[in-house]
Structure 1
Amino acid sequence: MIDMAEATLQANEPQKQAQPDPESAPKQAEKTESLWKDVWYSLRQNIPAMVSLFVILLLAIVAIVTYFWPQVLPYDPYAQDLSASFQPPSAAHWFGTDQQGRDIFSRVLIGSQISLTVGLLSVAISLVIGVVLGAVAGYKGGIVDTIIMRIMDMMLAIPSILLAIAFMAALGRGIDKAIIAIGFVSIPEYARIVRSQVLAVKQSDYVAAARVIGDSDAVIIFKHVLPNVMPSIIVRATLGISSAILDAAALGFLGLGVQPPAAEWGDMLGRGRNYIFAAPYAMIFPGLAITITVLAFNLLGDGIRDAFDPKARKR
């Protein structure tokens, strides 16, 4: 009787072992939560990154406030007064006035709307398309990988600003065209980064287990593979915003970006260069706005990269 009971228990043991551990999901969630806590703690120790985050948040607040409540600006950024042209910085006009008598300080503040909009939306376009193409190329491999990556290589062979100028010439001028052009030329960078990460991740045991249980390729890519390459995507996207803002300023400087009377830092810089000796402040302050914004996103991107690096967290 005892032997029969033992045999029954032994027969049931494999079934018990085959059942999924109900505590595995909470443990995985705790592990993920712990990772993000460690990343945030490491980022807080990085003073340049936190200062950059503060600057970016301040710019975002300025852009939002001036968009919904433009009356907070000291002057109308589009009002022309030729009798007040090229006034130097003073208590009345902190950054001086331009050739048409418009207050440069007000125009620099409202220019944050265009720069941040172009940076965020263009990165969103390149991020979505580049991530999908890179994930498909890395996971599928073979002829699919070859075709996608050769197209990306051809785009990378042309300097991004020249490619953006070509797109602007074909599409026309305007903020929407600038967003499309800058977003499109940045696709190869995201595609290559995601592809290299996917090539390493797709050989993992959890991907093989997902294939065994019958998950489709789309489910494996978006549910199992991409979440594990997210740190690299976040870092590249943060740095990509600074590149997009710089490209938008370059297009504006060349007269191919946002058109007057819109206040855009690159356009202000390009128009102020004609008066560099008579009124250098017409160039200095828009140039400083571009420099500070781009530097802030670059330093924040470097800080996020170090925060995701376990070796850097241990230092």
Structure 2
Amino acid sequence: MAAAVAQNSAPVQKKQEAEKTESLWKDVWYSLRQNIPAMVSLGVITLLALVAIVTFVAPQILPYDPYQQDLSASFQGPSAAHWFGTDQQGRDIFCRVLIGSQISLTVGLLSVAISLTIGVALGALAGYKGGVLDTVIMRVMDMMLAIPSILLAIAFMAALGRGIDKAIIAIGFVSIPEYARIVRSQVLSVKQSDYVAAARVIGDSDALIIFRHVLPNVMPSIIVRATLGISSAILDAAALGFLGLGVQPPAAEWGDMLGRGRNYIFAAPHAMIFPGLAITVTVLAFNLLGDGIRDAFDPKSRNR
């Protein structure tokens, strides 16, 4: 009898869920549009993404070859010819900053994709299954969180070697515990819902329940954390580049440019200033956008 009632009510509940979800996203987008800092940040991020795509597809549009050395033009200050000046090897810093957006955004997006995929899977399993599996997974996550992420990333880079692919793996791996803990805490509350109980009664498998009913309801927290995680990943990549553990020269990466320019901070401060500004603006944009998305998902903020 209970199974028959659950089967009859399941389509109604699914329809109500779909309508509620559609209404939620409309409210979130409306609230986000009212947040001026978040929308400006979204515009900055969109511009950076366009710059990265265009310079990757058609690098010839740049006024200078970002890898072409000209020692006779080293350490020229900002001018009409070189907007951001030149570095110690005479390369145009403006072009190198633009090219560097490719590496920073790639590291940010791919490392977050790695940590998001693994962290969400582990957190969902731990929260939904509970018991010994939950204990084992979360104790491993706690041990990883006990070590500062940048130190753990440096340890991985020391073991894996230098390179953009190694940096993506290292940064992605050290961020897994954050996503796992967030998803687990959300799943623990969602799995007690009536629609999850109804799905169990009608015989849905655990995997189907997790992907169809549980994860869509924890998606807001995941989206907010992923947006903020991209800024953290970009900052970690810059830190690794600054320490000489990131990309291989002569690749243009903001952290590496910042690290090399620090030796000439008094003779040619522009060699540090502009890569540093690129990092600051990008990280700030992702942080403000993440804060805006978090506020948009908060009903109290939408009602203010």
What is the TM-score normalised by the length of structure 2?
0.96
8 Å contact from structure 2 (residues 199, 209) kept in 1: yes
2:296 aligned to which of 288, 299, 307: 307
Corresponding residue of 2:96:
107
Matched positions, count = 301
Alpha-carbon deviations, 1:200-254, whole Å to 9, x = none? 1111111111111111111111111010000000000000000000000000000
Corresponding residue of 1:123:
112
Q: Larger deviation: 24-33 or 66-75?
A: 24-33
Corresponding residue of 2:146:
157
Q: Cα offset for 1:19?
A: 4.3
Q: RMSD across aligned C-alpha pairs, in angstroms?
A: 1.5
- Read off the aligned partner of 2:149 and give its amino acid letter: S
Matched, 1:62 2:62: no
Superposed, 1:15-30 pairs within 5 Å as: 19-20=8-9, 25-30=14-19
Distance of 1:17 and 1:240 partners within structure 2 = 39
8 Å contact from structure 2 (residues 10, 195) kept in 1: no
SS of the residue aligned with 1:260?
coil
Corresponding residue of 1:96:
85
- Read off the aligned partner of 1:168 and give its amino acid letter: M
2:259 aligned to which of 251, 270, 273: 270
Corresponding residue of 2:286:
297
Q: Larger deviation: 30-39 or 158-167?
A: 30-39
Alpha-carbon deviations, 1:108-136, whole Å to 9, x = none? 00000000000000000000000000000
- Read off the aligned partner of 1:94 and give its amino acid letter: W
Distance of 2:16 and 2:143 partners within structure 1 = 45
Distance of 1:147 and 1:48 partners within structure 2 = 41
1:205 aligned to which of 170, 194, 202: 194
After the TM superposition, which parts of structure 1 deviate over 4 Å for at least 4 consecutive aligned residues? 15-27
8 Å contact from structure 2 (residues 85, 270) kept in 1: yes
Q: Cα offset for 1:30?
A: 2.7
Distance of 1:129 and 1:46 partners within structure 2 = 32
Matched, 1:78 2:64: no
Corresponding residue of 1:233:
222
**Do the aligned partners of residues 83 and 195 (structure 1) sit closer, same or farther apart at CA in structure 2, a change above 3 Å counting?**
same
Corresponding residue of 2:24:
35
**Do the aligned partners of residues 115 and 86 (structure 1) sit closer, same or farther apart at CA in structure 2, a change above 3 Å counting?**
same
- Read off the aligned partner of 1:40 and give its amino acid letter: W
**Do the aligned partners of residues 18 and 102 (structure 1) sit closer, same or farther apart at CA in structure 2, a change above 3 Å counting?**
closer
Task: Determine which structure has more spread, i.e. the larger CA radius of gyration.
Answer: 1
1:181 aligned to which of 170, 173, 176: 170
**Do the aligned partners of residues 139 and 23 (structure 1) sit closer, same or farther apart at CA in structure 2, a change above 3 Å counting?**
closer
SS of the residue aligned with 2:90?
coil
Matched, 1:141 2:141: no
Matched, 1:194 2:175: no
Gaps of 5+ in 1: 1-14
Gaps of 5+ in 2: none
SS of the residue aligned with 1:110?
helix
- Read off the aligned partner of 1:85 and give its amino acid letter: S
**Do the aligned partners of residues 186 and 144 (structure 1) sit closer, same or farther apart at CA in structure 2, a change above 3 Å counting?**
same
1:51 aligned to which of 33, 40, 45: 40
**Do the aligned partners of residues 95 and 236 (structure 1) sit closer, same or farther apart at CA in structure 2, a change above 3 Å counting?**
same
Distance of 2:59 and 2:230 partners within structure 1 = 25
**Do the aligned partners of residues 138 and 92 (structure 1) sit closer, same or farther apart at CA in structure 2, a change above 3 Å counting?**
same
Distance of 2:14 and 2:209 partners within structure 1 = 18
**Do the aligned partners of residues 32 and 118 (structure 1) sit closer, same or farther apart at CA in structure 2, a change above 3 Å counting?**
same
SS of the residue aligned with 2:32?
helix
**Do the aligned partners of residues 21 and 135 (structure 1) sit closer, same or farther apart at CA in structure 2, a change above 3 Å counting?**
closer
1:214 aligned to which of 190, 203, 206: 203
Corresponding residue of 1:10:
none
What is the TM-score normalised by the length of structure 1?
0.93
1:247 aligned to which of 220, 231, 236: 236
1:284 aligned to which of 273, 279, 300: 273
Q: Cα offset for 1:29?
A: 2.6
